[in-house]
Amino acid sequence: MHTIGIERREEHGSVSPTARLSRGRDTAPQAPQTGLCLNTPGRPPCCPEKKLHACCKDTFLCGEGVTHRKAWIEARLELLAKHFAISVCGFAILDNHLHVLCRLDPGIADGWSDEDVVRRWIAVYRPSCLDVDNPATVQAWIDHQCRDTARVARYRARLQDLGWFMKALKEPLARLANKEDDCKGTFWEARYKSIAILDEQALLATCAYIDLNPFAAGIAKTPEDAPHTSIKQRVDHVRKSGDLETLQAAAAAKSIPAARIEADLEQSHWLCPLQDRMPAGAAREGMLPGFSLSSYLELVDWTARLCRTGKARITQEVASIMTRLGTSPEYWRSHLQKLLGKTRWLGSYCATTTERLKAIAAKHGVHHVDNALGGLATG
């Protein structure tokens, strides 16, 4: 299997891995699937992996009859997002492939106490010999673990490492599926490759691409109705929190007022908030400053209609988003069509401006770097 260690690149702050489902054979891997990685201003990027292909035996190991495995994956993603120093920004789980958009937050793990590190580790990898229902036993076990500073340091490093995040996601799920199918062997057909997303427009295009994937595959009539996706998770969270009227009020307002109306609407959700409100005192960092959930829903809805019919009326809100991104509806459409039409991803970076690609090429002392959207940046 092939991977690119995004978690070790200084210019990356986020990553997104993709995995392919496999069953019954352990042959040399096919051409690796790519993921997208994004670089937001002031922070290294996120990265989503390109889609998983069909399994080895032409089966869909999360498809008909075993769709409950998608709920396993979603629940596991939530658990890992709560305990790793890695934020999950987006995901889509389909019958035979998975997309995840992540952001690496290594500085957070450095601020955890030793006890916090051990508690997080056993939440992810529960010791079989530990009675987790007995608080006194758990505390004694944690105290014993904390005496080994080298062990705690390993746990801390792993809890901010993308490779360990993916291992912690895939390995338990593979074991559950193998037990259910009464078989042995590889469940995931490949590891992952990461692509760094280097600008704001590429980031939003990646987010929309992930959330539109089930819609483009004909699984759902609208993006927010697609099960096991981040966009549905976000909308469902608002409903369960009783904040649907707040979201509707924000949708009726313009971009800046919408961001103010929503305020900390997503701060309590396990997914990374779309709007970054840390400068305003929020506890958790979001993805983009001043970009509200209602604006994102408007953008995805407009893009869905554009992809489905080839045309869509440009609302004032969409026009405002395009202005902020410094792009046009036509340019945005071309990017999304390229993303949704790809069967393979090539390159290690994704950008909509040659300047960002040139800067990366210069930093690494190379003549050019490949752009997943097509085209090269020359140094």
Which residues are 102's β-sheet partners? 47, 88
Q: Is residue 261 part of a domain?
A: yes
Helix axes 293-309, 316-325, angle to 10 degrees: 100
Q: Is residue 311 part of a domain?
A: yes
Q: Quick one: pLDDT at residue 33? A: 31
Q: Quick one: pLDDT at residue 235? A: 93
Q: Is residue 70 part of a domain?
A: no
Q: Is residue 222 part of a domain?
A: yes
Q: Is residue 229 part of a domain?
A: yes
Q: Please, where are the H alpha helices in the chain?
A: 68-83, 106-110, 114-124, 135-146, 149-158, 162-181, 200-216, 230-240, 244-252, 255-262, 293-309, 316-325, 329-341, 354-363
For 129, the 3-state DSSP assignment is: coil
* 318 shares a domain with 211: yes
* 333 shares a domain with 258: yes
Q: Quick one: pLDDT at residue 295? A: 87
pLDDT tens, the chain, 379 aa long: 322 222 323 334 444 444 444 443 333 333 223 333 333 333 334 444 333 333 443 456 777 778 889 999 999 999 999 999 999 999 999 888 888 998 888 889 999 999 999 999 999 999 888 888 889 999 999 999 999 999 999 999 999 998 899 899 988 888 888 888 888 888 887 777 777 788 888 888 889 989 998 888 888 888 888 999 999 999 999 999 887 777 777 777 666 676 677 778 888 899 999 988 888 888 889 898 888 888 899 889 888 887 776 666 777 778 888 887 788 888 888 778 777 777 677 778 888 888 888 888 899 899 888 888 775 444 4
* 153 shares a domain with 226: no
* 307 shares a domain with 234: yes
* 291 shares a domain with 236: yes
* 209 shares a domain with 140: no
Range of the domain at 131: 109-158
Check residue 225 and report its DSSP letter: G
Q: Is residue 263 part of a domain?
A: yes
Q: Is residue 256 part of a domain?
A: yes
Q: Is residue 89 part of a domain?
A: no
Count of domains forming the chain: 2
Instruction: Please state, in angstroms and rounded to a whole number, the distance separating the CA atoms of residues 358 and 378.
Output: 6
* 330 shares a domain with 224: yes
Structure tokens, 131: 């009675």
Q: Quick one: pLDDT at residue 256? A: 63
